[in-house]
Amino acid sequence: MSILFYKRPQYVLKSNGPLKACARKGGTPQDCADAAIPPELSFENIVCNKCLPPCSLQDFLDYLTYVTHDAENLQFYLWMVDYFQRFRNAPKAEKALSPKWHSKKKTTILLPPNSTTNKSMEPSLVAAREIDMHSEDVTSNGSTWDGEQSEFTDDYTQTLKELKFSVSPVKNGLSDPEIRWQPSPQMQPFRNEIDRIVNHYIAPGSPRQLNLSHNDRATVLKALEQTTHPSALTLVKKMLDSTLRNESHPNFVRWAICNGSKEWTFALKCFAIMNITIGFAIAFVLVFSSAARWWRIFAALEWWFGITNFIAASQGLCILLHRMHTRQYHAWETKDYTANDDEAMLKGLDINFVNYESTRSKWPVKMEVFGPANNYGGEPWVNHYARKPWYRRLFEKRVPVHETGLKKIQNRMIRQAEAWALIITIPLTIGFVAMPQGDLY
C-alpha cells in the first residue's frame, strides 16, 4: 500500500529571515529516503554535477537564480569548498601566516549606530555587541574545514575544474563607510581574494550580499580581518550547508519533477475533467437506454483515464511528456529569437532559431565567483517571454530528460495516480452497472 500514499518531496517553507543553521544535516542517503528522494539525487551528487539534466548543477543554479532568487548561497558555497581545498594545498610557510581563528574571550564588535544592517535594533545594542566567538552555536560540528579530505570534497573540486570554475578579478571599489573593514596588514595567503569576497558577498550593499544577520555578519567580518584561514568562514559554511541541504535541495527536486509549463498543466487538467465528464455522459445515456447494462463498463475507461491524468497534473506531471522522456522548456531556456533580435545580432547569429544547448555557455556566466549581481531582469528572455502569447507558451518546445533518478520518482507518481484512479473507478462502475435500465429509448 506504500505506492498509494507516496508523496513527492514536500515543499520546505523558506525562511524570511537571515540565514541560520539547523541541527538536522540533510542530504545524506537516509535523509533522501525520508524525503522521498532517491539516492541518485542526493545533495552531494547534484553539487558534484554527477546528475544529468534536468538535475545537474547548472539546473540547480538556474533554479536558485530564477525561481527562489537566492543563487548567491550556492555561488558562495561553490567558492568556499574550493577555497578550503586550495588553502590545504598551500605551502606550510604561507599557511603559518594565517593562524586558525579562535577566541576564548568574548569579542566586542563595534558598528556605527546608523548601520543599515539592522535598522530595527536599538542604537545602543548596535554600538556594542558581545559575541562569543568560541560558542557551540558558531562552530560547525559537521562541515568544518578540518579533518581529512572527504570523497565529497575531492569530487567537488574536480567538478569545479570541469566546469571551469572562475575566480576572475573584479574591481575592488566597493567600500561601505558603515563597516569598519580593516584587514590584517600581514602578508597572508589569499588576502586579496578574501578582500574581494568580503566586498562581493558579505559587506552590506555588495552585489551578491548574503542574507546574514547583523550579529553573524559582524562575526565573520571580525574573523576575516584577522586571518584568511578557512576557520574564519566556519559560521557561514555551516549556515549555507544547512540551507542548501535542508531547504534548497528538496525544493529543487520537487520543482524538477514538473515537466510541463503552467499553461500546459492547466490545459491537461481541463482535458482530464473533460474525459471524466464524457465518462459520466456515456454512463447516464446507457442507464436511461434499453441497452444491456454491461455496456456501461465502457464509461470506466474514460473515468480511469481522466482521473489518472488529473491526479498527475495536480502534481505538475504530464504522463504524455513522461512517456516521451521529455519536458518543456522553462521561460529562461527558450531561445526562439529571430535574427533581428539584439542579442542574436550581438552574437553574430543569422538563424531564426537558436538551440538552447548550443547557446547555454554564452549566457551570463553565473558560475563565476565575482560575476554580476543575480538580477535577471535585464536578460532578453524576460521581455520576450512576457510578450509571448499563451498558445505559444502552451506548446513550448521540449528537451529530453536524461536523469534516471528523476524518472524513478515520476514513474512512482504515475503508478500512484493509476492506482488511485482504479480505486475510484471500480466502485463507480459497479454502482452504474447495478442501476436498473431506464428503457426510455
In a domain? residue 313: yes
Q: Which of 227, 257, 287 is the last residue of a domain?
A: 257
Q: Which three cell numbers stand for residue 97?
A: 601566516
In a domain? residue 15: no
- Looking at the fold, whether 165 and 179 belong to one and the same domain comes out as yes
In a domain? residue 287: yes
Cα atoms in the 13 Å half-sphere on the side-chain side of 18: 13
In a domain? residue 280: yes
- Looking at the fold, whether 277 and 420 belong to one and the same domain comes out as yes
32, 405 in Cβ contact below 8 A? no
- Looking at the fold, whether 145 and 192 belong to one and the same domain comes out as yes
Alpha-carbon distances of 222 from 144, 172, 214, 378, rounded to whole Å: 18, 19, 12, 36
Q: Specify the 3-state DSSP secondary structure of 2.
A: coil
- Looking at the fold, whether 47 and 195 belong to one and the same domain comes out as yes
Q: Which amino acid is at 92?
A: K
In a domain? residue 358: no
- Looking at the fold, whether 213 and 328 belong to one and the same domain comes out as no
- Looking at the fold, whether 196 and 302 belong to one and the same domain comes out as no
The CB density around residue 349, as the number of other CB atoms within 10 Å, is 19
Residue 109 phi, psi (nearest 5): -105, 120
Q: What is the pLDDT along the chain (441 residues), one digit of tens a residue?
A: 466 777 788 888 877 778 876 655 555 555 666 667 889 999 999 999 999 999 999 999 999 999 999 999 999 999 998 899 999 999 999 999 999 987 543 444 434 444 443 333 333 222 223 323 333 333 333 334 443 345 566 666 555 555 555 544 444 444 444 555 666 666 889 999 999 999 999 999 899 999 999 999 999 999 999 999 999 999 999 999 999 999 999 999 999 999 999 999 999 999 999 999 999 999 999 998 888 888 989 999 999 999 999 999 999 999 999 999 999 999 998 765 443 444 443 343 333 333 334 434 344 446 778 888 888 888 888 888 889 898 889 999 999 999 999 999 999 999 999 999 999 999 999 999 988 887 777
Domain carrying residue 108: 29-257
User: Residue 24 has what pLDDT?
Assistant: 54
Ramachandran area for residue 175 (φ above 0: left; ψ -120 to 50: alpha; else beta): beta
Q: Which of 194, 229, 257 is the last residue of a domain?
A: 257
- Looking at the fold, whether 222 and 144 belong to one and the same domain comes out as yes
- Looking at the fold, whether 281 and 212 belong to one and the same domain comes out as no
H/E run at residue 317? none
Radius of gyration of the chain from its Cα atoms, rounded to whole angstroms: 28
In a domain? residue 58: yes
Distance CA 77, CA 250 (A): 17
- Looking at the fold, whether 63 and 176 belong to one and the same domain comes out as yes
In a domain? residue 294: yes
In a domain? residue 414: yes
- Looking at the fold, whether 136 and 224 belong to one and the same domain comes out as yes
Q: Specify the 3-state DSSP secondary structure of 375.
A: coil
Q: Which of 230, 257, 284 is the last residue of a domain?
A: 257
- Looking at the fold, whether 247 and 268 belong to one and the same domain comes out as no
- Looking at the fold, whether 272 and 413 belong to one and the same domain comes out as yes
Tell me the angle at which helices 57-66 and 71-88 cross, rounded to the nearest 10 degrees: 140
Domain count across the chain: 2
